[in-house]
Structure 1
Amino acid sequence: MTVHSDGPRSRRERPAKPALTRPGIIAAAVEIMRGEGLERVTMRRLAQQLDTGPASLYVYVRNTAELHAAVLDELLGAVDLTPVHAEGDWRERLETVLVSYTTVLFEHPGLARSALVARPSGEHYLTLIEGLLALLDEGGVPGAQAAWGVDVLLQHATATAAEHATRGRAAGAQQEWDALTRALHGAREQTHPHIAALAAELLSGAPQDRLSWGFHMLINGIAQTPRPTPSQEPPRH
């Protein structure tokens, strides 16, 4: 007769845990972010998810900032880059890619705020940069201007997404907007003549229209503004 034991199994009888890999760690981090938010993507929480110790993760990821950058890079794989090789006006196609990038950040509020300081360096980020540079090159934008211009375009998109995410989660967002509206419309012509004349314009426009206008303005500016003569200052970090 076979005797079944309900007692604890020895470690030698348990199935072996999958070996840790950087792709596996990043995939687990993305899973946590989707379910619990980016704030919960910490080394300790990730170690718990992977049934290991936090020290084991540092072999593959140096710190939480690098982890968040890797999560951002992974999600950038969802950016629509088909316009890069499509037909049509290069400016419109460039804007379409940038709107897709912004939309990805809109869908992950915590990630949008982190993206302001995160510095991804993975394949998806490189592919995005390559696509943006290719479209600017197609438009005849000199390479030096395009190189700086890509940074400005992504800053605008990222800041817009982060602002949207912050306002969407702020408890008093509507009250703050109402207070700003009252302040602008209540500006006296004697002391603030320009605000008094343009109060309605300062508050006008749907967010999507403002985003699109910003891209148009920046793209045109990048194409027309030569880069300054290089200074002797060290490169930014």
Structure 2
Amino acid sequence: MASAWTRRRPRREQPALSREHIVAEAVQLLDAEGIEALSMRRLGTRLGAGATSLYRHVTNRDELIELVVDEVYGEILVPDTDDPAHWRESAVVCADSVRAMILRHPWVASVFSQVGLSYLGPHVMRLNDRMLALFEAAGFDAEEADQAIATVIAYVIGTGTSEAAWLTMVARSGEDEERWAARLQPAIDEASADYPRLRQQPKPSGARSLAEVRDTNFRYGLDRVLDGLALRLAP
């Protein structure tokens, strides 16, 4: 199997270069310049090492993507709980943490379809195991706990991906979110001129920032997903 998680690591690693060091530098590169900038040659230059040295630790760019995805998944929080009365609050903490990770590392949204066997990585395995414990404590059986987790994560990733795309566009504009949205509004008004329902959509209140609007919209959808799951636990 072609995967970073199924290949044996070299017995000896160069003192100044390790897989962990390579992955940490790759995450910094991705955060600063995006997925388009990631190449073994570019990363080797940042590390002061040739691409050949990197290949001793990471076979190719696909393996590197598996590794960096698992690395940022290590930032996700799943509270410890064995109290079924608090499963929902813990699920919200976890969902918020997944979304925050995506928004800190917007490049991750563009590689979800390229992650290969990343689910074998230690951070992803830990996340899945802790979430299973959380949903089983809530009262779901093992099979439905897995389905419930997949449903919540699908919602969070879908919403987070849209947000990450928007924030990436804002960042490329060189302006803050509010100013960029204000400049974009005339184009939105023109595009929706022939669509009465779109024209009548309420605009965000001036008292709330766009970040607050995004937070509110995210929480609305998450609450509706959890409402549906809670019904499965009803007597």
Q: TM-score, normalised by structure 2?
A: 0.68
Aligned partners of 1:116 and 1:221: how far apart in 2?
A: 27
2:157 aligned partner: 158
CA deviation profile, 1:88-107 (whole Å, cap 9, x unmatched): 62112111111011111111
Partner amino acid for 2:164? A
Residue 200 (1) aligns with residue 215 (2): no
Distance 1:29 1:134, change over 3 A: same
Residue 31 (1) aligns with residue 32 (2): no
Alignment RMSD = 3.4
Distance 1:19 1:77, change over 3 A: same
2:146 aligned partner: 147
Distance 1:110 1:136, change over 3 A: same
Aligned partners of 1:101 and 1:18: how far apart in 2?
A: 34
1:73 aligned partner: 70
1:219 aligned partner: 226
Aligned partners of 1:31 and 1:163: how far apart in 2?
A: 22
Q: Do the aligned partners of 2:81 and 2:90 also contact (CA within 8 Å) in 1?
A: no
Partner amino acid for 1:61? V
CA deviation profile, 1:198-227 (whole Å, cap 9, x unmatched): 9537989922122122222223434557xx
Structure possessing the higher radius of gyration over alpha carbons: 1
Aligned length: 201
Distance 1:199 1:155, change over 3 A: farther
The structure with the greater share of residues assigned to helix is 2
Within a 5 Å distance, the mapping from 1:3-82 to structure 2 comes to 18=15, 20-81=17-78
> Is there any run of 5+ residues in structure 2 with no aligned partner, and where?
1-13, 174-179, 206-211
1:5 aligned partner: none
Within a 5 Å distance, the mapping from 1:131-146 to structure 2 comes to 131-146=130-145
- For residue 176 of structure 1, report the CA deviation from its aligned partner: 6.0
Aligned partners of 1:29 and 1:38: how far apart in 2?
A: 10
Q: Do the aligned partners of 1:65 and 1:118 also contact (CA within 8 Å) in 2?
A: yes
Q: TM-score, normalised by structure 1?
A: 0.68
Aligned partners of 1:143 and 1:180: how far apart in 2?
A: 46
> Is there any run of 5+ residues in structure 1 with no aligned partner, and where?
1-16, 189-194, 226-237
